[in-house]
């Protein structure tokens, strides 16, 4: 009996003593990782599956290209996100001839809550995804140029060639000087049945030739281009008007499209090259086409504010209440969940500010574009499937007392503030949390009725901070 059990016991002991793969965090800049490139190099060779690079200084100035290659995939995932005192972080390039991000044959890479901007004359594509880069998520990012003059011709803010499961949602594509980039987003080469691109709730503006251009090449059965709730705006200051959408999808590629918007003059909303099919959608219930000047009444601000330097621009492409995109139920977009309405849809559960979708009282709805003008009352932020540090949502809504379910991705302190509609603080609470902790944070001191706004911040080790915001209807 002993001879039989001993090998099993030894195997169990070795398994217990063996090192367990854990997530690794990198803070940029820091003593260990003074540059973004040094953190990427460390993540490339780490023994951990989950790697997160936190940008703790904003703006972070770079002069080279952040290249992500096939060192990242199912066995080594990477998230690049803010880690400082604000919910967003700026990465600014002062080298106009270098791509800022090059996703080259990589997998399982996420860029979130970043302002990826060119702060010099542009002479290169800003972000390039190519060579079978797959399972890429770019969400809640603002990408473009904050330089005062345009640059070289032929460039794109985002260029995706041969994409596979590439998801871009709740992003804003822009240029302070209209026409800096020929294309906001240009995707090409859907040449086999693994190719797929998902564009949801993005705003694309300031392009010189086209906002969203899709060129499927040969096309293939089971390749997919999906567009929902996107807003493309032709800048009224450009004398030669561009197109909002350019479709060169004439192969077997499947197109799933609905509830998109185009701010354009007649004839410039979409051009279909040759026998191409529409990527913008059709009129009637889903596609909205209005004059390009109407964007001014639809959004609070459409021009990036350069003063003071590194202005956070909180109102940039924020929806205007009562404007052309928010004055009737017909303006509402498509609610998008996992596998709904298309079997391959990815959920869009929040907006660029992490306010929940759908939102609105009493009629829940999803707004078009990156901003949800009325935050969701059922969900504060998307569940942490994307590597988020903090997830939070009301336990009940409406409710008699404010209670938030939460999950903390790092150890630290939760700070809960409750505010009334005038911005007055009703309650301020602190709670220590451990990494991976799930719980309920209750604020028993607030009584109704009325709407209470909450801010839940996670102050983590190394200065990490993330914020979840939303509102709760408190009843008697």
DSSP letter for each residue of 268-286: -SEEE-TTPPPSS--TTTT
| Contacts (Cβ under 8 Å, ≥6 apart) of 59 | 90, 91, 92, 310
Domain C-terminal end among 293, 313, 330: 330
**HSE-up of 58 (CA within 13 Å, CB side)?**
21
Cα 239 to Cα 116, 178, 293, 336: the distances in Å are: 27, 11, 13, 36
The model's pTM: 0.78
Residue 314, pLDDT score: 93
In a domain, 379, yes or no: no
User: Is residue 336 within 8 Å of residue 347, measured between CB atoms?
Assistant: yes
**Is the domain of 465 the same as that of 323?**
no
For the chain, the 3-state helix, strand and coil shares in percent, each to the nearest 5, are 10, 40, 50
In a domain, 433, yes or no: yes
**Is the domain of 125 the same as that of 217?**
yes
**Is the domain of 308 the same as that of 411?**
no
Task: State both tokens at 365.
Answer: 């709805």
Residue 343, pLDDT score: 96
Q: Which residue(s) pair with 254 in the sheet?
A: 224
Q: Which helix (H) or strand (E) holds 136?
A: strand 134-139
**Is the domain of 169 the same as that of 250?**
yes
Domain C-terminal end among 301, 330, 359: 330
Residue 354, pLDDT score: 87
Residue 395, pLDDT score: 75
**Is the domain of 403 the same as that of 276?**
no
In a domain, 424, yes or no: yes
CATH code of the domain covering residue 261? 2.160.20
CATH code of the domain covering residue 416? 2.60.40.4070
**Is the domain of 71 the same as that of 195?**
yes
**Is the domain of 189 the same as that of 290?**
yes
Q: How many structural domains comprise the chain? A: 2
In a domain, 109, yes or no: yes
Q: Which residue(s) pair with 226 in the sheet?
A: 198, 256
What's the order of all strands across the beta sheet hosting 425-433? 425-433, 412-419, 450-460, 465-474
In a domain, 96, yes or no: yes
| pLDDT by position in tens, the chain (length 476) | 334 334 443 333 333 333 444 579 999 999 999 999 999 999 999 999 999 999 999 999 999 999 999 999 999 999 999 988 788 999 999 999 999 999 999 999 999 999 999 999 999 999 999 999 999 999 999 999 999 999 999 999 999 999 999 999 999 999 999 999 999 999 999 999 999 999 999 999 999 999 999 999 999 999 999 999 999 999 999 999 999 999 999 989 999 999 999 999 999 999 999 989 999 998 767 999 999 999 999 999 999 999 999 999 999 999 998 999 999 999 999 999 999 999 999 999 999 998 888 888 668 899 999 999 886 633 333 344 344 578 788 877 777 788 888 888 778 889 898 887 677 788 889 998 887 787 888 887 776 677 788 888 888 765 556 778 777 778 76
- How far apart are alpha carbons 333 and 367 in whole angstroms? 5
In a domain, 361, yes or no: no
Domain C-terminal end among 308, 330, 352: 330
- How far apart are alpha carbons 437 and 43 in whole angstroms? 25
In a domain, 320, yes or no: yes
Q: Is 51 helix (H, G, I), strand (E, B) or coil?
A: strand
**β-pairing verdict for 24-28 and 50-55:** parallel
**Is the domain of 304 the same as that of 431?**
no
**Is the domain of 268 the same as that of 407?**
no
**Closest residue by Cα to residue 428 from 456, 459, 390, 469:** 456
**Rg (Cα) of the chain, in Å, rounded?**
23
Residue 348, pLDDT score: 94
- How far apart are alpha carbons 60 and 92 in whole angstroms? 6
**Is the domain of 279 the same as that of 419?**
no
**Is the domain of 58 the same as that of 173?**
yes
**Is the domain of 284 the same as that of 405?**
no
- How far apart are alpha carbons 413 and 210 in whole angstroms? 46
In a domain, 345, yes or no: no
**Could you tell me the residue range of the domain that residue 137 belongs to?**
22-330
């Amino acid at each position: 009996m002993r001879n039989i059990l001993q090998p099993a016991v030894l195997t169990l002991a070795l398994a217990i003593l063996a090192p367990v793969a854990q997530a690794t965090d990198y803070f940029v800049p820091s003593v260990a990782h003074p540059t973004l490139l040094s953190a990427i190099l460390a993540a490339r060779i780490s023994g951990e599956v989950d790697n997160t690079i936190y940008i703790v200084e904003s703006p972070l100035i770079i002069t080279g290209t952040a290249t992500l290659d096939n060192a990242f995939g199912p066995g080594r995932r990477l998230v690049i996100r803010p880690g400082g005192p604000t919910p967003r972080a700026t990465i600014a390039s002062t080298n106009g001839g270098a791509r800022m991000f090059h996703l080259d044959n990589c997998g399982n890479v996420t860029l979130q809550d970043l302002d990826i901007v060119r702060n010099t004359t542009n002479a290169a594509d800003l972000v390039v995804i190519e060579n079978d880069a797959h399972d890429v998520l770019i969400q809640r990012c603002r990408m473009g140029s904050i330089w005062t003059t345009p640059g070289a011709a032929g460039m794109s803010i985002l260029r995706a060639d041969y994409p596979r499961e590439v998801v871009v949602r709740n992003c804003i594509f822009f240029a302070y000087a209209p026409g800096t980039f020929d294309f906001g987003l240009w995707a090409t080469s859907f040449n086999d049945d693994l190719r797929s691109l998902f564009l949801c709730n993005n705003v694309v503006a300031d392009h010189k030739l086209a906002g969203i251009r899709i060129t499927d090449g040969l096309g293939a059965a089971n390749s997919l281009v999906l567009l929902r709730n996107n807003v493309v705006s032709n800048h009224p200051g450009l004398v030669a008007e561009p197109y909002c959408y350019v479709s060169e999808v004439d192969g077997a590629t499947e197109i799933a499209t609905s509830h998109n918007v185009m701010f354009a003059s007649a004839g410039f909303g979409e051009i279909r090259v040759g026998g191409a099919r529409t990527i913008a959608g059709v009129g009637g219930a889903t596609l909205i086409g209005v004059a390009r000047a109407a964007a001014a009444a639809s959004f609070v601000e459409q021009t990036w504010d350069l003063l003071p330097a590194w202005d956070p621009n909180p109102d940039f492409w924020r929806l205007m209440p009562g404007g052309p995109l928010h004055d009737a139920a017909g303006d509402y977009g498509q609610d998008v969940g996992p596998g709904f309405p298309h079997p391959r849809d990815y959920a869009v559960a929040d907006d660029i500010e992490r306010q929940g979708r759908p939102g609105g009282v009493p009629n829940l709805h999803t707004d078009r574009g990156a901003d949800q003008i009325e935050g969701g009352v059922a969900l504060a932020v998307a569940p942490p499937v994307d590597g988020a540090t903090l997830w939070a949502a009301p336990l009940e809504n409406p409710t008699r007392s404010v209670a938030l379910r939460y999950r903390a991705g790092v150890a630290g302190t939760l700070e809960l503030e409750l505010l009334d509609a005038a911005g007055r603080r009703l309650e301020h609470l602190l709670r220590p949390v451990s990494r991976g902790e799930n719980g309920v944070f209750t604020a028993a001191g607030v009584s109704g009725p009325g709407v209470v706004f909450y801010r839940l911040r996670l102050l983590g080790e190394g200065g990490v901070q993330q914020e979840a915001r939303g509102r709760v209807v408190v009843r008697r």
